[in-house]
Amino acid sequence: MKRFVDLGDFSREEVLSLLELARRLEKQPEPHALAGKLMGLVFFNPSLRTLASFQAAMARLGGNSFVINPGQGSWQLETRIGVVMDGAAAEHVREGIPVLASYCDALGIRVFAEGKDLASDLAETTFNAMASLIDKPLVNLESAVNHPCQALADWKTLDDLAVPRGGRLVLSWAYHPRALPLAVPAAALHMAALRGMEVIVLRPEGFALPAAIMERARRAAAASGGSVRETAERAEALEGADVLYVKEWGATDGYGDVAADRARRAALTAWCVREDWFAAAPECRVMHCLPVRRNTAIADEVLDGARSAVQREAYNRLPVQMAVLHQLLRS
Ligand code: CP
């Protein structure tokens, strides 16, 4: 394996093999597997889990890491192509990223969607431009419309919870005061489809996931025996559901129009997950990638209750990323 940038680059069998390795490393630690190896972690956007779990994963395998937050203790890096650099950024990624890659054995990059031009975000323009500059092993730490490390941890969480392969997973939009990127919902949808699940995207009008994201998930579902559909009817979607995967994202009707998005979501504060959502799904578990705003996206009663699996998901970032690093840096 040379890169881990998209779960879609791997067959279902290859993903299952990575998960098996993650489980093996959980049970039989290999504290010297990556001795002498160094990973560079470049975060253009904030992180708690991804940052800490990658540093922990490298350390637990005997390797090391360094972290760059462009503009915070290092030069601010320009990502746009062809601009006149007379603003705050002192250096372009075209120089900065290859320099960083030359210091380490693998590089991880987090760069969120710009949230202005849907076609550009769907094409992963910024992440791919940086990826093309290096030939070292590369990990996507979350890009415009993808978060493969989260998706892999979520798949392991579903397995840990003994959720049936063909179980019903409802991916539900939830309220947030601001428009958030499509990376996690797109990755979770694709992951559940590739796992072979019955996936229902529950979202209000104006927040349908882009056709390209839905189509990709439908293709994965078709190959794995699963299904994908969408609805705005909560009761019907949740009836008998095994998992409610909660996520906040920005309006896709008028993508990038901040004022229109704000007006749309202002009427949707009731999309905060509460216990009464589960009347027809008593065994339903709740997943969220974190960070989550309590009593905004999910109520305390749900997050603190027995159906919440959010801590398990966050923990699983560590073993699955150890498996990814093992595959990237041992071969
Ligand atoms: N879920 C996730 O990626 O968390 P961070 O943004 O804290 O890394």
* Per-residue pLDDT reduced to its tens digit, 38-76: 999 999 999 999 999 999 999 999 999 999 999 999 999
Pairing of β 138-142 and β 38-43: unpaired
CA distances, 229 to each of 53, 224, 235 (Å): 33, 15, 15
Give the Å distance between the CA of 221 and the centre of ligand 1.
26
CA distances, 77 to each of 15, 94, 107 (Å): 34, 9, 16
Looking at residue 149, what is its pLDDT? 99
| 150 Cβ below 6 A of ligand 1 | yes
Domains of the chain, earliest start first: 3-147+316-329 (3.40.50.1370), 162-308 (3.40.50.1370)
C-alpha of 296 from chain center = 20
- Give the percent of the chain with pLDDT over 90: 100
Pick the residue whose CA is nearest to atom 4 on ligand 1: 49
Integer Cα distance of 113 and 176 in angstroms:
17
Give per-residue pLDDT as tens, 255-277: 999 999 999 999 999 999 999 99
| 136 Cβ below 6 A of ligand 1 | no
| 55 Cβ below 6 A of ligand 1 | no
Give per-residue pLDDT as tens, 183-194: 999 999 999 999
Mean pLDDT of 92-102: 98
Atom of ligand 1 nearest to the CA of 110: 8
Q: Predicted confidence band at 213 (pLDDT cuts at 50, 70, 90)?
A: very high
| 140 Cβ below 6 A of ligand 1 | no
Pick the residue whose CA is nearest to atom 1 on ligand 1: 289
Atom of ligand 1 nearest to the CA of 53: 8
Give per-residue pLDDT as tens, 220-267: 999 999 999 999 999 999 999 999 999 999 999 999 999 999 999 999
| 235 Cβ below 6 A of ligand 1 | no
Looking at residue 27, what is its pLDDT? 97
Mean pLDDT of 113-132: 98
Mean pLDDT of the chain: 98
Q: 116-128: buried (b, 16+ CB within 10 Å) or exposed (e) per residue? A: eebeebbebbbbe
Report field, pTM of the whole predicted structure over 0.85: yes
* pLDDT over 90 at 210, yes or no: yes
Q: Predicted confidence band at 331 (pLDDT cuts at 50, 70, 90)?
A: low
Residue 290, C-beta contacts closer than 8 angstroms, at least 6 positions apart:
48, 49, 310, 313, 314
* pLDDT over 80 at 115, yes or no: yes
Looking at residue 81, what is its pLDDT? 92
- Give the percent of the chain with pLDDT over 70: 100
Tell me which of 45, 50, 248, 249 to substitute to probe ligand 1's pocket, judged by most ligand atoms within 8 Å of the beta carbon: 50
